[in-house]
Each structure stands twice: as structure tokens, then as C-alpha cells.
Amino acid sequence: PNKLAQPTIAGGATAAELADLDRRHLIRSMPNGAVTERVVIVRGEGCTVWDADDNELLDAAGGGVWHSPIGHGRRDMAEIAAAQMSRIEFFTSLYEFSNDQAIRLAARLAQLAPEGIERVAFSSGGSEAVETAIKAARLYHHRRGEPDRTWILARHYAFHGATYGSGTATGFPPMQFGVGPNLPHVEKLSPPYLYRADQLYPDQDPTDFLIAELEETIARIGAGNIAAMLGEPVMAGAGVLAPPADYWPRVREVLSRHGILLIADEVVTAPGRLGEWFMSDKLGMQPDMITMAKGIAGGYAPLGATLMRDEIADALLRDGGFFHGYTFQGHPVACALGLATLDIIEREDLLGNARRIAGWLRSGLAPAVDLPVVGDLRVEGTLAALELISEPVHRTPMGWDQVIAVAFEVRRAHGVIVRPYGSNLVLAPPLVLTEAEARRATAATVEVLRRLHPDGTLAPC
């Protein structure tokens, strides 16, 4: 067959043609090949997006992977990108070179970051930012004369990325299956999962259990062999799991006592998604490093950042230097968009709106709590998870395929985008969501959940 005789590729292709081309050529991540439908998104404005058939959809998922804080299709962002591109698109920041936008964004992030965090290494996304943090933790200890400190502690159910380091630290076995050997010296701890506290830590205070497990793990591996612990302040992909108030302060105390660094993975939570610039600050983590990505440039360009204390950065940069970096680190277009995103969050009071959204999500989703298929409702800032169950005694998680079907039904029946994450249905709207949009998104979600039977089947509308 003549490859050049394929259907129209540039412009003018119909939605059906685009879907065919997608199925034929594009590899995207999804749980399995069973998802055959294609919704080809072609434009957006605020919290609304349109597909190639011009169907309007309300984005209650923050662009799908909770990465969109300031809404879609903004002209002000397009103008900033165009202005920067016409000045200069990119020049390396290796050796003596640097660029004004990366310098400004690093300084601005240092200003907003928790006390003591002053330095920034840029990358192109969350996995890369986590990868940088893992390497930085190991090299820091190496330079300090403790080269055996190589182990990384992470937690089951956490998501940290898809590269080998970040993917091994991820507590989601399909990430590691069939692609091994994965990164050695990574150990997983239990997550703070209060909905299942009686099952996971019977007859114990959750924090007492988790701290005892941490202490036992450190004793087993040996404190002198552990570089860092990596954790999200609030676990997003695990289903919006917030820890008890004393969890992070107590973890921090144990780690400090053993000379172990704490890396806060704020790829989802910063900037602003939970109504604070940085959630690690609020929860008493006092991190040594912070990773950011997703919403840092509003979703208008890929950008990641690894923030760290001076002492760590100084150790990396002395002796042989930090032989680690990515071609597009500190990309000036992405960094200009990062600065603009922070300005917009400030100017439009989006931290305040994130807190208002939390209230709207809580009240809008409250009627779902008594449904037999809803085990738990968790709302933290603009993140909401409804954990779906198929029976109430053991609270057996609803199957992934059924949760996917529920999310699809919310879109098909109501034109609202919510997302499946394991047994959780997740809402994570842009921080510009209005009260009316919140009402529409939550009502759509509740309506479909009312039609969901514990066996996973959906009654018709």
C-alpha cells in the first residue's frame, strides 16, 4: 500500500478520520486496548473544551490529569508564548549559558517555596523532576562521604512517574511489570489510608502504625544506607489520600533523626491546587526537596522543577559537578509561561477560589455518600475522589473497567469530564471553575452514580 495515499493528515480531516488515524498511529497511555472510543479535543476556553465534532464538554478533571490550574485556551498565555518565541525560542543553559526567564522563575519559586528552599533545577515534566530528586539525594550523600546511602523510601499506591527511577518509586505494580529490572534499592511503606484504617492497621492509631513501620524499615535497611523518602503531601493518584495531621511532622522527625532527606512530590499539589502555593508547607513536611510539574506552566508548556535547599545544591555543584540535565531544562517559553501562571494565580485569587471550589465539590457530591456504591468521599482543595465499592462489608473496590465505564457515562450523558483512577472517580477542575460549573459537574456525577449497581452495571438514563 502507498503510505502517501492515506486519508487527509493536515487540516480538514473529519473527527472519524482523526479517530482512525489515532488508532492506527498514536500510542497513548491507557489501562488496556479495550478503550476503542476516541474523543479528539481540538480547542478549549476556561473550563470548557470542544471535540472535533464540536461537542462541548465541561472539564471537571483539570485537563484530564489534574494539570490545568488557569483554564484552557487563554489568549494572554498565547501572547506571552508568542512574544518569547519571537525574542528567542531556546538556547542551552549548559556551562556559562543561562536565560532570563529561567532565572526569574527560579527566583520566584524560591520566594514562594517553604523556608530554606532556595535553588531550582528545571526539567520537562514530573517524572524527570522526580528522577532529578532521586539522583540529587544519592549524590548529596555521596559528596558528604556517605556513599552507601542509596535506598529510597516511597509508598504503596503512590504515583511518581514513568521513568525507571520515578516508575520504580511508584506504588502501582503495572508500572514495573515486564520492564525489569527496575531501579534497585527502593522500598515501599504503607500509605495513610484512613478509609481502610481498620483493615490496614487494626486496633492501632494510623500514625502510630505508620511511624512504627517507618522505624522498623529504617532499622532493617540501616539508616546509613538510606538516602531519602519520597512522598506526596496528599496522595493524588492513590485517590486523594490526605494523612492525619500528625503524620508528616512525625515522619519528618524520624527522618531527621536518621539523616534521611525528605522529598515532597508536589507535582500535582503545587502551585495552588489545594488552595496553598505548596501543600508540604501547610502539612508540616519541612521538605529538603520539592518536585513540581503539571500546572507549573498552566499546562501551556511541558515544565518540571526540582527545588532544594542550598546545602544540597552546593554539594551537587562542587567537586565533579552535577552531571545530570536535560536538553530543554529551563526552556524560556515554558518558564515565561510559568511566571505568567503564578501571576494569574495571584491576580485572579485562584488560591481563594481553590478553597471555594472545595466547598462546592463537598456539598455537590454529598448526596452520593449514601449510595451503596460509594464507599468514601474525599475532598482536598480542588481534588475530589469518590471511592467506589461493590459490596459494603469488606468494601471491595469496584473494578477498574466499571469505574472507567462510569466516567465515560458522565461524559456521554452529561458532557462532563471526570476521571477514573483505579476504583476512584476523580474530579480535579481548573482553579477557575465557577460555582455554576461545579454544580453541573457534581450533579452529573451524582446522577450517574445513582444508576450504578454494586455489580458494576449502569441502569439506563
Residues that bind ligand PLP (CB under 6 A): 65, 125-127, 130, 159-161, 232, 236-237, 265, 267-268, 293
> Residue 273, CB half-sphere, CA atoms under 13 Å: how many?
34
The string of DSSP letters for 219-271 reads: HHH-GGGEEEEEE-SSBSTTTSBPPPTTHHHHHHHHHHHTT-EEEEE-TTTTT
Q: What DSSP string describes 142-194? A: HHTT-TT--EEEEETT----SSHHHHHHSS-GGGTTTS-S--SSEEEE----G
Residue 9: count other Cβ atoms within 10 Å of its Cβ.
Answer: 12
List, in order, residues 6 or more apart from 228 with CB less than 8 Å away. 133, 134, 137, 152, 153, 260, 261, 262, 263, 288, 289
Residue 418 in contact with residue 61, Cβ under 8 Å? Answer: yes
The minimum distance between CB 299 and ligand PLP, in angstroms, equals 11
Cell of 334: 515554558
- Cβ-based nearer residue to ligand PLP, 270 or 448: 270
Q: Which is nearer to ligand PLP, 18 or 383 (CB)?
A: 383
Least distance CB 215 / ligand PLP (angstroms): 25
| In the complex, residue closest to ligand PLP by CB | 126
Smallest gap from residue 160 Cβ to ligand PLP (A): 5
Nearer to ligand PLP, 308 or 374 (CB): 308
Shorter beta-carbon distance to ligand PLP: residue 126 or 287 = 126
Cis ω for the linkage preceding 271 (within 30 of 0) = yes
Please state the closest distance from residue 7 (CB atom) to ligand PLP, in A: 31
Residue (127 or 390) nearer to ligand PLP, CB: 127
State the minimum distance, in angstroms, from the CB of residue 205 to ligand PLP. 26
User: CB-wise, 55 or 190, nearer to ligand PLP?
Assistant: 190
- The conformational region for residue 295 under phi > 0 = left, psi -120 to 50 = alpha, else beta, is alpha
How many Å separate Cα 305 from the centre of its chain? Answer: 13
CB closer to ligand PLP, 67 vs 414: 67
What value, to the nearest 5°, has the Cα angle with vertex 37 and ends 36 and 39? 145
CA distance 290 to 279: 10
The grid cell for 305 is 522543577
Rg of the chain (C-alpha set): 22
Q: State the cell numbers at 102.
A: 529561567
Distance in Å, CB of 38 to ligand PLP, minimum: 21
Residue 294 Cα distances to 23, 169, 322, 375, angstroms: 26, 18, 25, 29
Nearer to ligand PLP, 127 or 341 (CB): 127
Closer Cβ to ligand PLP, 99 or 124, answer by number: 124
Q: How far is the CB of 432 from ligand PLP (least distance, A)?
A: 21
Shortest distance, CB of residue 60 to ligand PLP, whole angstroms? 17
Of the pair 306, 445, the CB lying nearest ligand PLP is at 306
Name the residue with cell 478533571. 61
**Do 31 and 41 contact (CB within 8 A), yes or no?**
no
Q: How far is the CB of 302 from ligand PLP (least distance, A)?
A: 7
Rounded to the nearest whole angstrom, what is the least distance from the CB of residue 20 to ligand PLP in the complex? 27
